Structure 1
């Protein structure tokens, strides 16, 4: 066997190459996985009125069905990270997308609240596992110079899926009943899982920290740069000067990483409290404010539509300016717009629609960028775990937001009051993200004297 004659840093190699058709394929498949998540999140909200009519159940009983999926998402994310760091990103992604499809199809056959709740929880496990795995995989194949816009564009699949889910539900429910929405939400992920299994490569960085994977890595990198030769290479995964030893979760919770971990958890938790309260209850809030059903649905759909555009713009800005400050600024602007929306509920329809669009644009971009940001602050061995635990802990905020919205409506809170309240946690989330940059600066400051000492010893 030939001995390696040169060492090749996988990430540095990817950073130096053009964005190839192979990487476009990875971006597209992960985008579709996120679209399945977004479709599911929108669809369940739209079938609630039909369930109330068909089953004769109270509104608050279906709040538990909404929260069951969110709870499953949190648990799925927490479990998926360590698993993806152990067995591979692709394996976990295929299983999670298949889980979404199978249990969504099963939910379409439910005839009681209890059975529907169980299947929604199981669907949530797949949804939760797919998101951090997709973010990690896309991030590891994105060149550093365009990583922000690539990862954020992929996460736009969630907002696109929400738009499609709303439009599909509006047509399917009157023509084929609410079960057809869940069937559509099951068939799609099953097909996506098959595509991922056949066409998606495993993460080259993940393979680079394991033994006996030279041939697999060479084949993958050959798809990115066909003109290159890798016969005598030793592949490594760069850690950017940061040591990464031990179990993935232990590393994420270690003394070195714990401050940034807790801040990221807090930021994403607060973000999802705000986001899911609005996503789940905005149509009801506007209906209670005097909007008719069609106007309420139209205005609400502008929120995720704005998110698609805002997420791409924010990713582009993250690549050209400091990523942390870009996200922090998005939060500050989002808090301001959330407050203004609350004071503008009775304003002219066009003006109010523009405000909702802009609010969705900055709040969604802040949320998606925060979910992608952890991939920049954890090393390869713990990256999937770090991302997954941020998303998993944050998803408890989604559950809290869904319940909080129901409680505030029960107490008689108006749209203006709810939006005014939500400006505060939005601003706090921005402060937590900004504090992560302080932790990173402090960690780099500790490394420099150590490096200097080594050089002079």
Structure 2
């Protein structure tokens, strides 16, 4: 009887090597957090040097997000064809070189173009590393493993803030991009040395030397090696391209729900991250207090991702995420109400950061489990890319509401409703997922 290695890994205790691979993926995700925030930290200095208008600054802030959406949608799916590892290495080259090039630009249009290119690389890294972490974890700790990746965002954002304070005053804004570029190249070298290929990919696609690569990984995990490569049972036998397979049968409903959840959560997340400091300052806080609240929200994210992962090891991830979404909505409703009391607002801000980042981490945990190995990177990449569209639209929609005279408290209430709607979407997705899991494999293959 042939061994089912992937099922064996699912049931086996997590080895130190598996946790090590997940730590490498967390380090990859730090690049995402740094890249998203680096333009926000350097924007005042860039604006001062080139006398930029608000619209021009907005273009610089949005270019990276547009690139990340493009990378998730168009680049990440290639990981299902060429492998997670190779795609990550290619994206690290793209992100590293374009970050370094940002330090030498002489116009805001060239900077915006390079920010878009950097975003493409980061979008591919995020989706592929998310899938890789999921595939190296066992069934019990998978949600925690992928959630821990989201701590990288908070770490990257915090490091970006610290570097900005330390370097911009003495070396100028270009030094931040130089630091980011060299860090990304260092991560490329580390990944070349340490990052393994996904076992799911090796079994599904059987590239050259697949057996040797599988056995090398299994030895590091403390598992008995194989004499021949096990047959991988394809769950999808339907004809059609990879895109069509995302929407076949019950898979289609799950894909639509996942895209909707990513859009809603990212829509609310980027409103909180982008507008909170500015709105609090306009409501009477000092600039230092407003920025401090924004930093606390980022710091809270480091804890939120870990907490939802631990919670998911005790209960279904869909229920854990729904709980986080509900508490986030409550916090959003409360936040503006307590803004006049600075100490209370700071505490609520920390709690809001913990919860809202936990929501994003929960979505990242769910997304790889929805799809089979042959289309996993495509499915996750498209979902994250669709979420990035919500991220791009959110700050603009908030600005339009504020320009129309909508009070901050009312605006926060609108965004609180977004998280409530997301609860219903996640619960529908969870019901569909567990219903599909309960079907015989033959029925799933033809669903």
TM-score, with structure 2 as normaliser:
0.93
* 2:214 corresponds to: 217
* 2:424 corresponds to: 431
CA contact (8 A) 1:289 1:414 kept: no
- Give a deviation string over 1:217-276, Cα, whole Å, max 9, x none: 1111111116x2422x4324466x676765432211223311111111111111111111
CA contact (8 A) 2:59 2:112 kept: yes
Matches within 5 A, 1:221-260: 221-225=218-222, 228-231=224-227, 233-237=228-232, 247-260=241-254
Q: Distance in 1 between matches of 2:141 and 2:373?
A: 19
**Are 1:418 and 2:411 an aligned pair?**
yes
CA contact (8 A) 1:51 1:178 kept: yes
Compared CA separation, residues 50 and 437, structure 1 to 2 (3 A) = same
Matches within 5 A, 1:37-436: 37-211=32-206, 213-225=210-222, 228-231=224-227, 233-237=228-232, 247-347=241-341, 349-436=342-429
Q: Distance in 2 between matches of 1:62 and 1:100?
A: 21
Compared CA separation, residues 45 and 315, structure 1 to 2 (3 A) = same
- Give a deviation string over 1:140-189, Cα, whole Å, max 9, x none: 00011111111111221111111111222122222221111111111111
CA contact (8 A) 1:277 1:402 kept: yes
CA contact (8 A) 2:218 2:225 kept: no
TM-score, with structure 1 as normaliser:
0.91
* 1:24 corresponds to: 19
Unaligned runs of 5+ in 1: 1-5, 452-457
- Give a deviation string over 1:5-56, Cα, whole Å, max 9, x none: x422232222243333322331122111110110111221121122222221
Compared CA separation, residues 166 and 417, structure 1 to 2 (3 A) = farther
Compared CA separation, residues 354 and 238, structure 1 to 2 (3 A) = farther
CA contact (8 A) 1:68 1:121 kept: yes
Shift of 1:386: 1.1
Compared CA separation, residues 191 and 75, structure 1 to 2 (3 A) = same
* 1:3 corresponds to: none
Q: Distance in 2 between matches of 1:176 and 1:351?
A: 37
Q: Distance in 2 between matches of 1:254 and 1:182?
A: 43
Shift of 1:399: 0.6
CA contact (8 A) 1:67 1:403 kept: no
Specify the SS of the correspondent of 1:209: helix
CA contact (8 A) 1:9 1:235 kept: yes
Q: Distance in 2 between matches of 1:195 and 1:288?
A: 44
- Give a deviation string over 1:315-357, Cα, whole Å, max 9, x none: 111121111111111111111111110211112x221111001
Q: Distance in 1 between matches of 2:402 and 2:98?
A: 31
Q: Distance in 1 between matches of 2:442 and 2:199?
A: 32
Q: Distance in 1 between matches of 2:278 and 2:270?
A: 13
Unaligned runs of 5+ in 2: none
Q: Distance in 2 between matches of 1:85 and 1:446?
A: 25
Q: Distance in 2 between matches of 1:217 and 1:121?
A: 36
Specify the SS of the correspondent of 1:234: coil
Moved more, 251-260 or 31-40: 251-260
Q: Distance in 2 between matches of 1:288 and 1:225?
A: 58
Compared CA separation, residues 102 and 414, structure 1 to 2 (3 A) = farther
Specify the SS of the correspondent of 1:8: coil
Specify the SS of the correspondent of 1:257: helix
CA contact (8 A) 2:76 2:125 kept: no
Shift of 1:412: 4.7
- Give a deviation string over 1:397-439, Cα, whole Å, max 9, x none: 1110132233344445454233222101111122111110222
